[in-house]
Amino acid sequence: MPELPEVEVVRRGLERWVSGRVIAHAEVLHPRAVRRHVPGAEEFSSRLTGRTVGVAERRGKYLWLPLDGSDAILAHLGMSGQLLVVEPGSPPEKHLRVRIGFTDGGAELRFVDQRTFGHVLVTALAPAGGRAVPEPITHIAADPFEELFDEELFSRRLRARQTEVKRALLDQSLISGVGNIYADEALWRARLHGARPTGALTRPRITELLTAAREVMAAALSEGGTSFDSLYVNVNGESGYFDRSLAVYGRRDEPCPRCGTPIIRESFMNRSSYSCPRCQPRPRKAVS
């Protein structure tokens, strides 16, 4: 699933190509794409007609396009969702779900989703954590790149969770935007095993971990994100290439870039965790 850097790449593309334009029409080609829009596909389309799109925003893995008034188009890409900017008249993509045209006759915005786990909806904005965000995500915590992110509050809440540090990093109500890939990469940079109890982490170690998470996601963003297949693309359909720079994720049995020890893979929450057994020794007593 796309994580913060991949979603931010898309947000920047939307800001450049879509923000400030007026919607002429919206067409829903597959009802599952707007399943979270309770009034239905027809109301979704009619509610967008004539609306002016504001500057694209993001929190964690969610992005939205504010509309004139007090609501927004909220999008979650799911496993395979793509928001593409395409010239009008271009052949429809195989898995095209929603198409939005603009009054200036320029490039359309298309939502393409092969596996249909993603969704778009129109929803009201509400205050959350010092800013206005779409109502369905008011429970999502600030991400580590937001000015509103409170490191001291995060540190206290992290230590209070009494869980494993990787589980805490993936908890979007604690810190948003970090997924499986960048959690493993941040933990490697911070020399922490994912099973380390959060209650055992000192404030300086938490700061190191946050710094590592910011650094690895910033590096990924500079390279267009991590793309393991053709599904994770920017608004122009181009893939990122940070997968070439990953230190541990997906690199089982390859040498650790720091010490040369073979990377190991461990099962984690029906997924995989990758780490260096020398740089990131497993704690003797894990959280029960």
Token code pair at residue 216? 């690895």
Size (the chain), residues: 288
Verify whether residue 147 is a known catalytic residue: no
What is the Cβ-side half-sphere exposure of residue 178, based on CA atoms within 13 angstroms?
30
Predicted pLDDT at 51: 97
Verify whether residue 2 is a known catalytic residue: yes
Verify whether residue 43 is a known catalytic residue: no
Predicted pLDDT at 239: 56
Cα distance between residue 242 and residue 283, in whole Å: 30
Verify whether residue 271 is a known catalytic residue: yes
Nearest to 110 by CA among 82, 131, 136, 72: 82
Cα distance between residue 90 and residue 99, in whole Å: 12
Q: What are phi and psi of 142, to 5 degrees?
A: -60, 150
Catalytic hit among 115, 156, 252, 271: 271
- From residue 20, alpha-carbon distances to 13, 65, 144, 186 in Å are 13, 10, 27, 36
Are 123 and 71 in contact by the 8 Å Cβ rule? The answer is yes
Show pLDDT as tens, one digit a residue, over the chain (288 residues).
Answer: 678 888 998 899 999 999 999 999 999 999 999 999 999 999 999 999 999 999 999 999 999 999 998 999 999 998 888 999 999 999 999 999 999 999 999 999 999 999 899 999 999 999 987 899 999 999 999 999 999 999 999 999 999 999 999 999 999 999 999 999 999 999 999 999 999 999 999 999 999 999 999 999 998 888 776 644 444 456 666 655 456 678 999 999 999 999 999 999 999 988 899 999 999 999 987 554
What is the Cβ-side half-sphere exposure of residue 222, based on CA atoms within 13 angstroms?
8
- Locus of tokens 């007593």: 285
Contacts of 284 (CB under 8 A, 6+ apart): none
- From residue 15, alpha-carbon distances to 18, 55, 206, 227 in Å are 6, 6, 33, 21
Token code pair at residue 262? 């073979």
Catalytic hit among 3, 6, 15, 57: 3
Catalytic hit among 11, 61, 97, 251: 61
Catalytic hit among 2, 5, 144, 197: 2
Which residue type is seen at 71?
Answer: D
Contacts of 2 (CB under 8 A, 6+ apart): 10, 61, 77, 179, 225, 232
